[in-house]
């Protein structure tokens, strides 16, 4: 069963800004690799959303929202 995963324009813009930030001290290739990796991780939620825990914010929003952590160690990004 496939689920609907939506990346809002604001979220996509935030991801793009993070990639630009990564590019500054690193390289375009590293920023592109990070960007493509997080988009791929988000897309996996279409098939397996329940592998991520329900976000604490779900109760306030009145709907189930999952939290995906992407990255390593100190550089973990939260995807809701």
The residue ranking higher by pLDDT, 33 or 73, is 33
pTM for this model (two decimals)? 0.82
Structural contact between residues 37 and 70, judged by C-beta atoms closer than 8 angstroms: yes
Q: What is d(CA 49, CA 33) in angstroms, rounded to the nearest whole number?
A: 23
Q: pLDDT tens digit string along 33-56?
A: 999 999 999 999 899 888 999 999
Q: What is d(CA 64, CA 80) in angstroms, rounded to the nearest whole number?
A: 10
pLDDT at residue 5 in the model: 87
Q: At what angle do helices 28-43 and 9-23 cross, to 10 degrees?
A: 150
Which residue in this structure is represented by tokens 């990346």? Answer: 7
Mean pLDDT of the region 49-72: 91
Q: What are the structure tokens assigned to 69, written together? A: 């952590």
């Amino acid at each position: 069963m496939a689920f609907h995963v939506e990346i809002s324009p604001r979220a996509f813009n935030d991801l793009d800004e993070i990639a630009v930030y990564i590019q500054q001290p690193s390289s375009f290739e590293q920023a592109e690799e990070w960007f493509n990796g997080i988009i791929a991780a988000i897309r996996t939620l279409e098939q397996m959303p329940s592998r991520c825990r329900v976000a604490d914010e779900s109760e306030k929003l009145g709907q189930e929202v999952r939290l995906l952590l992407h990255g390593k160690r100190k550089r973990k990004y939260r995807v809701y």
